[in-house]
Amino acid sequence: MPELPEVERAARLVRDVALHKRIVRVETTEDDIVYNGISHVEFAKELQDRVVTGVGRYGKVFYIELDGSGRMPVLHFGMTGMLQVRGEKAIYYRETPRKASTDWPPRFMKFILHVRNDESGATTELAFLDARRLGRIRLCSSPLTEPPISTLGFDPIISMPDLEVFTKSVRKRTCPIKALLLDQSFSAGVGNWVADEILYHARIHPEARCHTLTDDQIAPLYRQTLEVCRIAVEVNADDSKFPEDWLFKYRWGKGKGKKYTMRLADGSPATIKWITVGGRTSAYVAELQKLTQIVESEVLGSDGSESELTPITGSEDENKPVRKRKHRVEPTDSPTLSPVKRRSTRSNRVSVTLYEGTKDQGSN
């Protein structure tokens, strides 16, 4: 999912392409899921013949300011949303796939803005795409004071609180720190990889409980929340320009037999492990991020089996349910019940189901 740095990159693209230009045409496709509280026709009419006066971002949401008294577009990418300029490939979350196309109009297009420079007469086309339909397109009169932005917590780039306020906000929670960082009502814009990066540099285990963190832990947590976001934004979310000591360079590809070359300061290999926290798979370095209190979870085993940590609410659009193993418990002292073993074809787990009246198998 695009996080704060990737959404800031998108806002910059809109500024480069559309700022001070007039929207002379709006193409839309019907989608009553992505268009939130409005129709695609209503969206097009509201933007027609208005000039782009600014582009803003808060958390993972970005918005386009327009002249006149009408409402303005407020956009959220969800999992697979992206922008594409005609004649160029779309801006993907991580890396552009080889099969990426410049065909126009692009697949999964929700709208295309035709913006014209009134002085030169040149027109540029900018499309909003969303394959999985988890993004949202809204219209707001005052983007910063209306939902969804008004419901968000601090933005690490725009509105980071001071250390004292930050410390109090952390310590009044009892959930794992990773789950708190993912909660958009706490830190807007921080997603899965950004949270892992923050915790790695702060040397805090993702399952450490918020109320147990010391001043010596919260101070680097505060600093790294600022620094990770700042550095990623400065390089326009281009991960090839991220520092070589970032966990981002090594955290991808779990379960694919990938060999990791991350090294500790003394040159020895780093051990990257994965657990599920707040409903999300979390990467951490075992030698540097140690858990000091007991928590109810399991580190992913060498066979790649999933942790059974109970999911804790994070952001509304990021949490994924964690499957739990169900065990049927039946009384074993009943003389009328006999166990029959069955093997699941999905997981190769052996389960025992007790059937009534199966003592004499030949009578069935």
Which residues are the active-site residues? 2-3, 60
CA 274 to chain centre: 17
* Residue 310: CA count within 13 A, CB half-sphere: 3
Residues 18, 115 contacting (CB under 8 angstroms):
yes
Amino acid symbol at 353 = T
Q: Who contacts 246 (Cβ-Cβ below 8 Å, separation ≥6)? A: 197, 200
Q: What's the alpha-carbon Rg for the chain, to the nearest Å?
A: 25
* Residue 187: CA count within 13 A, CB half-sphere: 30
Q: How many residues does the chain have?
A: 364
Residue 310's CB is within 10 A of a number of other CB atoms, namely 11
Residue 56's CB is within 10 A of a number of other CB atoms, namely 18
Is 157 in a helix, a strand, or coil?
coil
